[in-house]
Structure 1
């Protein structure tokens, strides 16, 4: 029998919390439901969840503070924020303190489930695919090394490696420009967007020994790695 994936859900609205819990349980998730941030932190410390769904506005300890406390000891567990806030600055803050995704209320359960599965798949990819293949290149994400066949390896910067990793995991699909800017740069403002363009240019040059690989600009949306 397969082990259920455990999700820690912190939501202070009882009705919404129960709806989310029951919906996730029908999809074969185990859900630990908490109604405030302090309780959620204790449950987190005494259990082994694989993903966190945190409401931002909670009594005793809000979702952002809870995420900061958890990120102090765990920088890899996926975190999805739920919030009624719609200000761009709130979204930026959520990503800057270690959030992986951000869902504004009201939302559909199907959208939440898709986002949960996407994050879990990313984590599994990172754990199981330390060395990835891109055409005739091998990419060691952990060591941040890119190598074409038997030629000398290229050492990537931290941001280059993470940007390339996200392009690969979304291969042949559009990588959302705003999402990746908030995740890697902390903001999707004009100057960070220009910075990302520079990094894309650098990656294109480092991948130019294989003409089957392209990173194309999808105007108004983002970038797509085609291989």
Structure 2
């Protein structure tokens, strides 16, 4: 049975969510602040983290950043009343997989948790071939680094995942809807705007080699030319 690490500083809401998840068959580890949540993450190795953004001691974004250093694939779902585009983009940049605005229904939370668990697969063993070649760049996907003539660009988790998807489909069209479902879990308009931001950033990182381009394929998606 899946283990959920729930981190929520509103005690009443936390207990309601915990009880509702347990009734539906989940095992729940509950923490009331980010520091306690980080300790439970290290102690129990949960299947998914559900965390509030605004918390004492360690906020949800800082918690996600710490978790991503130790586990690059664990699903993270944010619960928050903050829904400004900059907040959502930052959450995804730090490796969040989904974002649920308060107030929310338990049915919606359950559906989103199950969707994340169904998509999660353990990572394959690292390939021994070293960094990937993208024109004159070297892309170290596990370390989230893009190197050009000895200079390294540190990528966020989501930037690295998006570039890997583009690399795997290089010189072919990567469907916009497919990458939104794979990395954001939903191809809605709001997530589409976030994807546009990340594509712009990757283009900026790759600007030093004119033979490398990320092209828009109107109405379909993107193509990495390398």
What does residue 167 of structure 1 align with? Answer: 178
| 1:45-73 deviations in Å (ceiling 9; x for gaps) | 11110100010011111111111111111
What does residue 67 of structure 1 align with? Answer: 64
1:84 aligns with 2:96: no
Q: Which runs of 5+ in 2 are unaligned?
A: 125-140, 142-162, 205-213
Counterparts of residues 1-227 of structure 1 (less than 5 Å): 4-124=1-121, 158-160=164-166, 161=168, 167=178, 175-179=187-191, 182=194, 185-186=197-198, 197-198=216-217, 200=221, 202=223
What does residue 220 of structure 1 align with? Answer: none
| Contact residue 95 and residue 186 of structure 1 kept, 8 A | no
Following TM superposition, by how much is the alpha carbon of 1:42 offset from its aligned partner in structure 2, in angstroms? Answer: 0.6
**TM-score, normalized by length of structure 1?**
0.63
Q: Indicate how the Cα distance of structure 1 residues 181 and 88 shifts in structure 2: closer, same or farther if over 3 A, else same.
A: closer
**TM-score, normalized by length of structure 2?**
0.63
RMSD of the alignment, in Å?
3.6
Q: Which runs of 5+ in 1 are unaligned?
A: 129-141, 143-156, 204-227
Following TM superposition, by how much is the alpha carbon of 1:87 offset from its aligned partner in structure 2, in angstroms? Answer: 1.2
Q: Indicate how the Cα distance of structure 1 residues 21 and 184 shifts in structure 2: closer, same or farther if over 3 A, else same.
A: farther
Following TM superposition, by how much is the alpha carbon of 1:111 offset from its aligned partner in structure 2, in angstroms? Answer: 0.7
| 1:151-208 deviations in Å (ceiling 9; x for gaps) | xxxxxx613248569728969xx8335425536854899x99xx684482539xxxxx
The size of the alignment, in residue pairs, is 169
